[in-house]
Structure 1
Amino acid sequence: MKNHIGPAIRLTLVLLVILSVIYPLVIAGVSRFAPGGGKGETVVVNGKVVGYALVGQKFTNDRYFNSRPSAVEYNAAGSAGSNKGPSNPDYLKAVQARIDTFLVHNPGIQKAAIPAELVTASGSGLDPDLSPEAAKIQVARIAKVRGINTERLNQLVDDHTEGPFIGLFGPSKVNVLKLNVALDGLK
């Protein structure tokens, strides 16, 4: 047993230094090359930070593209899903309430045409992106409220659509915060 205690203590100390000191320093160094220098990608308008591009924001005003619902009310400190299954009565009631609200604010849209992401929360509760289809289904409402041509709004969505990562991985997406900032910038 004495033959095993010494190597076990040395291995523990080496791993403690590697995993508690060296690895975090390497990751912090690599993060300096990421957008925002490892502090998050902020969206700035007129010199003022209006939000973080990688964290979902709440947009419910009819003048804006609505965000994906959040199970944590957009609280980045408490990222989580609802943990309710698709047959849970409370979950079904919440989804139905979101569908009803969407239909009230977007007349003329059929229930079957509503993308699921507009009525269901993401796993983290903080998803900042929508599919281009989920953004475009809201164009008619925004065009009416703002008095903007629908073709111009569809072009705005297209201009803010990011393709799959390196053209292969994941779906196309639209960052809702960036899209709404650009919407406010339209003349």
Structure 2
Amino acid sequence: MMSELRPALVSFLLLTVVTGLVYPLLVTGISQAAFSDAANGSLIREGDKLLGSRLIGQPFSDPKYFFGRPSATAPQPYNGAASSGSNQSPTNPALASAISDRIARLRALDPGNQALVPIDLVTASGSGLDPHISPAAAEYQVPRVARMRNRPENEIRALVKEATEGRAFGILGEPRVNVLLLNLALDGKRAS
């Protein structure tokens, strides 16, 4: 019995050390050396104050700021520990009601804006954590933000254009705007 148990225990201990200690330390070391900012959450700080992350959306409800995509995470929006979408189908009356309510809220905040509301301002992403909106969603909000801040629309549009990220490698994905970085720029802050 011991002759069969010993190789199993040695294999167990060896694999535990390799996969539980050596591999994680190696991957952590490589990520810290090669991709330190991303490995540490792409955090944005102002001095000692943590402002947020480039990778996780933030709740902005003040109309002087750009709004991000709605979040379906629980118990609060943009909860990184509970990443998920609503999983409601397009035919679900609750989803249709939520979208109608979100459109009504956007219209109430900017009654003069009769443009179509971009879909990403009224629907949650699959993760519920998306920090980006489309350039069209940012453009839709420019009149409201300019009015609330008493600044010219062309100045706000210039900030949107500056905050717009292109396609990865010029071909992958769609252009997008990081809402936190744009709102920091509105406040005259630079991400660091």
> What band does the TM-score fall into relative to the shorter chain?
0.7 to 0.9
Please give the residue correspondences for 1:118-157 in structure 2 after superposition, counting only pairs within 5 Å: 118-157=121-160
Please give the residue correspondences for 1:23-102 in structure 2 after superposition, counting only pairs within 5 Å: 23-32=23-32, 33-36=34-37, 38-72=39-73, 73-102=77-106
CA 12–46 in structure 1, closer or farther in 2 if over 3 Å, else same: closer
Q: Flag structure 2 segments of 5+ consecutive residues without an equivalent.
A: none
| Contact kept in structure 2, 1:60 and 1:67, CA below 8 Å | no
CA 105–29 in structure 1, closer or farther in 2 if over 3 Å, else same: same
- 1:60-79: CA deviations, max 9, x gaps? 11100011100011111111
Query: TM-score when scaled to structure 2?
Result: 0.84
Name the CA distance, whole Å, in 1 between partners of 2:68 and 2:19. Answer: 38
- 1:2-35: CA deviations, max 9, x gaps? xx99988777666544433333223212221225
What is the percent sequence identity of the aligned residues? 42
Name the CA distance, whole Å, in 2 between partners of 1:95 and 1:37. Answer: 33
- 1:41-81: CA deviations, max 9, x gaps? 11123542211111110001110001110001111111111
Name the CA distance, whole Å, in 2 between partners of 1:130 and 1:8. Answer: 53
Name the CA distance, whole Å, in 1 between partners of 2:23 and 2:47. Answer: 38
CA 86–159 in structure 1, closer or farther in 2 if over 3 Å, else same: same
DSSP 3-state at the match of 1:138: helix
Query: TM-score when scaled to structure 1?
Result: 0.86
Name the CA distance, whole Å, in 2 between partners of 1:161 and 1:109. Answer: 22
Q: Flag structure 1 segments of 5+ consecutive residues without an equivalent.
A: none
Quote the residue 1:20 is aligned against: 20
Q: Which deviates more from structure 2 when the two are superposed, residues 10-19 or residues 153-162? A: 10-19
Number of residues paired by the alignment?
183
Name the CA distance, whole Å, in 1 between partners of 2:131 and 2:156. Answer: 19
